[in-house]
């Protein structure tokens, strides 16, 4: 992709949070190198349950108590354990323990809070915002710009959905004659990496969800987000031959963004955008924006970032709905209750929902799906009718999320789009993986689920050799060596 974000960044600190480390963390690859048994000098408090406790002898260490047994942990180099927040941080910020009484919670607002948009200072291509999030980039008129549609798919890619997904794209083209493309936010478990490589080779965008799709990740620390996000990116690289530079977007599980922590990982590891924040029900849709300023709408999830992350894009999920009509409001289309409709009624519902974008500010019309949508024939049929209908509109373009951001960063009028290089298919992207092999390896691998006492079997299909064990957090290549992975933040954004 011929698009470069230039940005000078200084990495101030990596906070390693160890809050809420449960029994599953005993086998976590990310802490095996720093934790050892230690019983002679420390006793876990009775009746206090699992948790983290300060080392009475030094602020550089702490104990993790699991079922009454202490495990010794060391803070990363240069950091010290804060016995109130229960994570490692700078020495001048750390409140060394043991602290016998719990101080009152800090009520003062955190530093570096993002301020409201200043359009006169936020200039394309690196920054974009508007007072309420509804302004068209470049100040163009609605009639001058394309209506972009973003087809996005969440979760595993496998035999349950692969052929259904392929039917969505088959035979559908953009006004310039190029095949339409979509974005896949891939989760690891049950994914078929042979199929994912074929999608990527055909020009669809592959982005990351997480490895485990665990609930509650929004409250976890930096280490957990790195393991889930960057580990997923490494799995895609190893088993689907997808370059790290091509994986520039992510989506948090259950649309629960990870507060400032998730976005610090996005910034540190060279991601271009996130698409996790759900917008409230509004009469006019929200355009994507950069996080140089405060988000321009209510945070529905309650865990949105509060600090500035200059140059990082947020592609929000506007809710789908039709006024005075059943179905409700839903960020994912399969969450709207349309199950009693026939394909023609589904088409009418989608057309009415789409018109709120097309007839107003033409913000990108994102159509997010899980496999569930395609398990109901009326919904699948209605979608195909909608695709056929939009093919008759000369100003509608189906693009990937990154392609949409390339247009927003450098807006072009309808008359200029046939020569808009990021949307042109004449020049093949040399960074895409090759077509997948004809005879893939079908691997049956041992896997011990978190918090379980038994070993299960997971299946993985790939063009590379079968790994020793099922890939997981801390062991993206499935080497079977716990704690093998170590991820280092990048120094600058990648060119895409």
> Distance (Å, rounded) from C-alpha 259 to C-alpha 376?
35
Task: Mark whether 177 and 314 lie in a shared domain.
Answer: yes
On whether residue 31 sits in a domain, the answer given is: yes
User: Quick one: pLDDT at residue 31?
Assistant: 39
In a domain, 491, yes or no: no
pLDDT score, position 490 = 76
Task: Count up the domains in the chain and report the number.
Answer: 2
Q: Say whether both 81 and 184 belong to one domain.
A: no
pLDDT at 462: 98
Asked whether 457 and 463 are in contact (CB, 8 A), the reply is no
> Do 84 and 141 lie in a common domain?
no
Quote the DSSP letter at residue 83.
T
Q: Choose the final residue of a domain: 404, 423, 442.
A: 423
pLDDT of residue 249: 98
Inside any domain, residue 376: yes
Judge if 397 and 313 occupy the same domain: yes
Per-residue pLDDT of the chain (496 residues; tens, 9 = 90+): 433 333 333 333 333 333 333 333 333 433 344 444 444 568 887 755 566 788 888 888 878 776 667 878 777 666 778 786 566 666 766 778 887 644 444 444 455 689 999 999 999 999 999 999 999 999 999 999 999 999 999 999 999 999 999 999 999 999 999 999 999 999 999 999 999 999 999 999 999 999 999 999 999 999 999 999 999 999 999 999 999 999 999 999 999 999 999 999 999 999 999 999 999 999 999 999 999 999 999 998 999 999 999 999 999 999 999 987 777 889 999 998 876 679 999 999 999 999 999 999 999 999 999 999 999 999 999 999 999 999 999 999 999 999 999 999 999 999 999 999 999 998 888 889 999 999 999 999 999 877 677 788 999 999 999 999 999 999 999 999 877 899 989 744 443 3
The answer to whether residues 155 and 241 belong to one domain is yes
The per-residue DSSP string of 365-423 comes to EEEEE-GGGGGSHHHHHHHHHHHHHHTT-TTEEE--HHHHHHHHHS---GGGGGG-GGG
State whether 287 and 171 are in the same domain: yes
Cβ burial 363-393 (10 Å sphere, 16+ → b, else e): bbbbbbbebebbeeebbbbbbbbbbeebbee
Q: What is the CATH number of the domain that holds 69?
A: 2.170.140
Does any domain span residue 433?
no
Task: Please check whether residue 83 is in contact with residue 95, taking contact to mean a CB–CB distance below 8 angstroms.
Answer: yes
73 and 218 in a single domain? The answer is no
Tokens linked to 26: 């005993």
Reported pTM: 0.78
In a domain, 412, yes or no: yes
Q: Are residues 173 and 316 in the same domain?
A: yes
Asked if 335 and 259 sit in the same domain, the reply is: yes
- CB contact at 8 A, 226 and 258: no
Q: Which residue has the tokens 């280490």?
A: 223
Strand partners, 273: 249, 313
pLDDT at 283: 95
Within a domain: residue 448? no
CA pair distance 99, 54, nearest whole angstrom: 8
Q: Which residue has the tokens 């924006």?
A: 289
Helix (H, G, I), strand (E, B) or coil at 65: strand
What is the domain-level CATH number for residue 312?
A: 3.20.20.370
Are 377 and 238 members of one domain?
yes
Domain assignment of residue 364, yes or no: yes
End-to-end CA separation in angstroms for the chain:
5
Residue 369, beta-bridge partner list: 153
CA distances in angstroms from 479 to 59, 229, 240, 243, listed in the order given: 34, 19, 16, 20
Same domain, 365 and 290: yes
Predicted confidence at residue 112, as pLDDT, reads: 65
Q: Is residue 475 in a domain? A: no
Let me know whether 243 and 333 are in one domain: yes
Task: For residue 22, give its domain range.
Answer: 18-89
């Amino acid at each position: 992709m011929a698009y470069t974000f230039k940005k000078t960044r200084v990495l101030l600190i990596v906070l390693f949070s160890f809050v809420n480390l449960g029994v599953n963390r005993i086998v976590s690859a990310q802490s095996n190198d720093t934790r050892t048994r230690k019983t002679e000098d420390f006793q876990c408090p009775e009746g206090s349950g699992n948790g983290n406790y300060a080392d009475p002898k030094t602020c550089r260490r702490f104990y993790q108590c699991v079922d009454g047994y202490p495990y010794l942990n060391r803070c990363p180099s240069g950091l010290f354990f804060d016995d109130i927040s229960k994570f490692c941080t700078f020495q001048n910020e750390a409140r060394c323990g043991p602290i016998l009484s719990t101080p009152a919670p800090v009520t003062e607002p955190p530093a570096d809070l993002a301020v409201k948009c200043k359009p006169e200072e936020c200039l394309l291509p690196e920054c974009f915002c508007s007072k309420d999030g509804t302004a068209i980039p470049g100040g163009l008129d609605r009639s001058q710009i394309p209506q972009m549609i973003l087809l996005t798919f969440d979760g595993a890619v496998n035999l349950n959905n692969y052929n259904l997904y392929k039917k969505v794209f088959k035979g559908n083209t953009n006004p310039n004659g190029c095949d339409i493309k979509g974005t896949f936010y891939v989760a690891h478990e049950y994914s078929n990496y042979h199929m994912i490589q074929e999608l990527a080779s055909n020009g669809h965008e592959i982005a990351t969800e997480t490895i485990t799709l665990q609930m509650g990740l929004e409250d976890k620390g930096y280490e957990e987000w790195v393991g889930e996000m960057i580990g997923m990116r490494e799995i895609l690289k190893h088993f689907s031959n997808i370059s790290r530079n091509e994986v520039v977007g992510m989506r948090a599980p259950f649309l629960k963004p990870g507060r400032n922590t998730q976005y610090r990982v996005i910034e540190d590891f060279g991601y271009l955008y996130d698409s996790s924040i759900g917008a409230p029900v509004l009469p006019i849709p929200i355009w994507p924006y950069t996080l140089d300023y405060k988000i321009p709408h209510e945070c529905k999830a309650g865990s949105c970032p509060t600090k500035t992350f200059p140059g990082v894009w947020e592609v929000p999920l506007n809710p789908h709905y039709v006024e005075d009509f059943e179905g409700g409001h839903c960020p994912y289309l399969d969450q709207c209750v349309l199950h009693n409709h026939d394909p023609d009624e589904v088409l009418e519902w989608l057309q009415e929902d789409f018109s709120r974008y097309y007839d107003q500010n033409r913000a990108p019309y994102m159509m997010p799906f899980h496999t569930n949508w395609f398990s109901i024939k009326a919904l699948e049929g209605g979608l195909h009718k909608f695709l056929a209908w939009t093919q008759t509109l000369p100003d509608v373009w189906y693009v990937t999320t990154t392609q949409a951001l390339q247009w927003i960063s450098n807006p072009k009028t309808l008359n200029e789009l046939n020569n808009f290089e990021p949307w042109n298919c004449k020049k093949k992207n040399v960074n895409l993986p090759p077509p997948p092999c004809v005879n893939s390896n079908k691997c049956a691998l041992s896997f011990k689920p978190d918090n379980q006492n038994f070993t299960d079997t997971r299946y993985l299909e790939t063009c590379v050799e079968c790994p020793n064990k099922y890939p997981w957090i801390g062991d993206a290549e499935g080497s079977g060596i716990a704690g093998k992975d170590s991820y280092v933040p990048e120094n600058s954004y990648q060119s895409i």
